[in-house]
Structure 1
Amino acid sequence: MTHEAVHAAGTGDEDAAEGRLLPATRDEAAGERRITTREAAELLGVKPETVYAYVSRGQLASRRTPGGRGSTFDAGEVEALARRTGRREPSSLTPANGLVFRTGLTLIEPDRYFFRGVDATELARRHSFEEVAEWLWTGRLRPGIRFDAAPEFLNAARRAAASLPRHSSSTDRLRVAVAAAAVADPLRFDLSPEGVLNSARSLIPTLVGALPTAGEQEADAGSLAGRLWPGLSPRPSDAASSAVLDTALALLTDHDLAASTLAARVAASTHAHPYAVVSAGLGVLEGPLHGAASGLAHRMLAEVVERGSAAPVVADHLRAGRRVPGLGHRLYAGEDPRATVLFGLLEEVPQAAEALAAARDVIATTARHAPLHANVDLALATLSVSADMPAEAGETIFAVSRTAGWMAHAMEEYAERPLRMRPSGQYEGPRPPQPLPTPEPA
């Protein structure tokens, strides 16, 4: 609920038990906007009793309502106190299905999604990943912006990632690179908007630069997608393939409160520094039901290409009781709009024809039995299979891109009341008091 909504529909003290909503009052003679005790408590992020403690300490002035059934406060005075104390209006609710957060970043509607009110697929089609990330962070479009890593951070990240065993995954290297870059950055605890922006603009190219190259080609010194390509594919990139990768990065920047983003916001609510926020997101992203899902789609699609038909591959998945990867999304009734954009771009890549045909075969074969549509994991798998990338490439693209989204959510969360996400556990263990346990024999 926004400040304006609270003022327009606050819960009056005398009606709290019934849950009725009363409008905020205005003292016409004084020109003041008056709000109730409960509204003041919401603005300050405290309990109603604490509001009266502020009154007793002289930090707020109250006025009895006509009839003496409650108190009102000058809204401007309450807002000023909220700014001084670092409090914010609580922006999380606890409905039956979990936490809900106010956010100005991403809106998801049936078969569409938006970044700051602008169609995200159109943004990704027309602008580079860096430009889209900057829009998400600041609400400003800066054509031609490029992110550059600080040399000392990049060197630290590369040394740390290079020390890992050869079998380490790209996500392993990214996690280590984040930790190394954090240690190298003495300003990592600067949580001001500009400080977080500086960290974000440097960290993302640091992650890309910490990945080993997959072939002999040199990284493109221009766009971030051009620098990332050699860490994903042994094939040289071309304009069409680079466009697909760049658009994929832009499309995946944010997608509301996915599991990894929720973890990032929880970390930010403790005022952990931005690198720690990204580390929290990476830890959740590695789950097979989240960022690693594209790897499952890659392996399936590669098998379809090898066997020449989707039917036996889909049958094997169903026979084993496994879901067919890359299909269905709980937020979209039809095809994932991110997949739609990427499939359209892949049609312009000659090398992608075989993998694209295999993906369409999977969709058509499964559609005979279940009304499932392609999601972005299948589109990423089509890109990775067509470019001889490893199965984990989609997860790497996801991680690099979503780092921008985690940073955006961190900036929102740093402006909220700290430590506001504190759910209570429902204890189901033995009722105390219980006797001390008996030591087991060695």
Structure 2
Amino acid sequence: MGSEVGSPPERTGGERRLSTREAADRLGVKPETIYAYVSRGQLTSRRAPGGRGSTFDAAEVDALARRGARREPPAGSGDLALRTGITLIDADRCYFRGVDTTELADHYGYEEVAEWLWTGVLRPGTHFTAPEEALAAARRAVDALPAHSGPMDRLRVAVVAAASADPLRFDLSEDAVLGTARALIPVLVDALPRLESGTDRTSSPIVRRLWSRLTAQHPDEASLRVLAAALVLLIDHDLAASTLAARVAASARAHPYTVVSAGFGALDGPLHGAASSLTHRMLQEVLERGSAAAVVADHLRAGRRVPGLGHRVYQGEDPRARALFRLLEDVPQAGPALRAAREVAATTARHATLHANVDLALGVLTVSSGMIPEAGETVFAVARTAGWIAHALEEYDERPMRLRPSGHYTGLRPPQPLP
């Protein structure tokens, strides 16, 4: 195949012929994939003049492309790109399977959207219930942690405990993985200690059970709508760091519990999941000091990023933030925190063109609802679990161990003396 890749295109009787490389580029696949199409009868090849490789009818190649030949990301772009049919981010909008995420959040609950994302079937009224044995194991493990442990510590322990209670966790068939997903998410939520007085039924929607783990305040319907929307909007966001970690684990055929654990590991940092905790504390400080300018100045003077502003994939405002801010307008007690957030954005805009991201909106919700500082991170983690499972289901259908990049060695060249 070596000499044909760069062969010039051939014309026979007005018919344009493509080299293997040209056909591969047009279909967005590797050159060796072209021969797989030939062997399956999807393309026909002809020997090039002089026997220098094969050529292909351009019209036939274009017809195959229109029929949806499986495209692969172009090599040499410098960034890892993977095929996925879950999330598209385009023109400052975010879509799950082609549907605008803000519309999904306006019409459906978290469990309904998660189920639809996994199966392609919308089941209105879907609620997830934790199996008793898995929940008991998770609660015992969480209760054994030191008192100062945070929600993310508890979630990480809960997923490991739930895995230990599931002897069938290594079954990676689609039905088994879906069963695990429907059980794991409520286990994670119900294993967290309640902060609100009273009880909630295990058949209640996830959003109500999660609320009681984040604040002692009784929820009003407007605030619950914001939390419910946040859970939907945060389910997935293309190949974020935690999602890539989850897919790498799935590529190695790790079971779903370990896939989620991998996601938790990558989430646990100030530049990803923990960003909302920083925003919560910043907004609290703005409200206490009565000045966004003073707080922003302190961040800039210390050389720190102003939390809740800017996002690498959006040129303008994060659409998730825009959707949550719209809903927060209907929450009376959110007024002061909402004004503080807008003052932070306006003050920072004098120095840099940065727009609000979803962490700023989450901060408004958590501060105005009296939630713990880590509440936003907890919402993020619970929501994104559904997305990691969706990506695992995709990855289980791919070639195992494909996510194994080669290192670019920059160390000393051998041979070196024995240390």
Distance 1:39 1:89 in 2: 10
Matched residue, 1:230: 212
Matched residue, 2:132: 151
**What's the CA shift string for 1:329-356, capped at 9, x where partnerless?**
1111111110011111111111111111
Distance 2:83 2:230 in 1: 26
Distance 1:127 1:64 in 2: 50
Secondary structure in structure 2 of the residue aligned to 1:174? helix
Is the CA contact (8 Å cut-off) linking 1:301 and 1:381 kept in structure 2? yes
Distance 1:38 1:369 in 2: 51
Is the CA contact (8 Å cut-off) linking 1:110 and 1:331 kept in structure 2? no
- Specify which of 380, 401, 414 is matched with residue 362 of structure 2: 380
Matched residue, 2:22: 21
Q: C-alpha displacement at 1:15, in angstroms?
A: 3.4
Is the CA contact (8 Å cut-off) linking 2:24 and 2:31 kept in structure 1? no
Is the CA contact (8 Å cut-off) linking 1:217 and 1:230 kept in structure 2? no
Distance 2:187 2:310 in 1: 33
Q: C-alpha displacement at 1:155, in angstroms?
A: 0.7
Is the CA contact (8 Å cut-off) linking 1:42 and 1:90 kept in structure 2? no
1:268 has 2:269 as partner:
no
Matched residue, 2:200: 219
Is the CA contact (8 Å cut-off) linking 1:129 and 1:250 kept in structure 2? yes
- Specify which of 77, 91, 94 is matched with residue 113 of structure 1: 94
**What's the CA shift string for 1:193-252, capped at 9, x where partnerless?**
111111111100000011011232323541100010111011011111111111100000
Q: Output the amino acid matched with 1:193.
A: E
Matched residue, 1:123: 104
Q: C-alpha displacement at 1:70, in angstroms?
A: 4.9
Matched residue, 2:148: 167
Q: CA RMSD in A?
A: 2.7
Q: 1:64 to 1:232 in 2, by over 3 A?
A: closer
Q: 1:434 to 1:37 in 2, by over 3 A?
A: closer
Aligned residues: 388
Secondary structure in structure 2 of the residue aligned to 1:100? coil
Q: 1:90 to 1:109 in 2, by over 3 A?
A: closer
Q: Bigger shift: 148-157 or 403-412?
A: 148-157
TM-score by length of 2: 0.86
Distance 2:230 2:75 in 1: 33
Matched residue, 2:333: 351
Distance 2:24 2:289 in 1: 67
Matched residue, 2:241: 259
Q: Bigger shift: 12-21 or 344-353?
A: 12-21
Is the CA contact (8 Å cut-off) linking 2:321 and 2:361 kept in structure 1? yes
Distance 1:188 1:172 in 2: 22
Distance 1:421 1:17 in 2: 28
Matched residue, 1:200: 181
Distance 2:199 2:417 in 1: 67
Matched residue, 1:294: 276
Distance 2:45 2:77 in 1: 36
Secondary structure in structure 1 of the residue aligned to 2:22? coil
Q: Output the amino acid matched with 2:86.
A: L
Distance 1:153 1:422 in 2: 33
Q: Output the amino acid matched with 2:308.
A: G
Q: Output the amino acid matched with 2:274.
A: A
Q: Output the amino acid matched with 1:226.
A: R
Matched residue, 1:393: 375
Secondary structure in structure 2 of the residue aligned to 1:282? helix
Q: C-alpha displacement at 1:71, in angstroms?
A: 7.2
Matched residue, 2:289: 307
Distance 1:94 1:192 in 2: 31
Secondary structure in structure 2 of the residue aligned to 1:395? helix
Q: Output the amino acid matched with 2:297.
A: A
Secondary structure in structure 1 of the residue aligned to 2:409? coil
Q: 1:41 to 1:171 in 2, by over 3 A?
A: farther
Alignment of 1:173-192 (within 5 A): 173-192=154-173
1:334 has 2:334 as partner:
no
Q: Output the amino acid matched with 1:22.
A: A
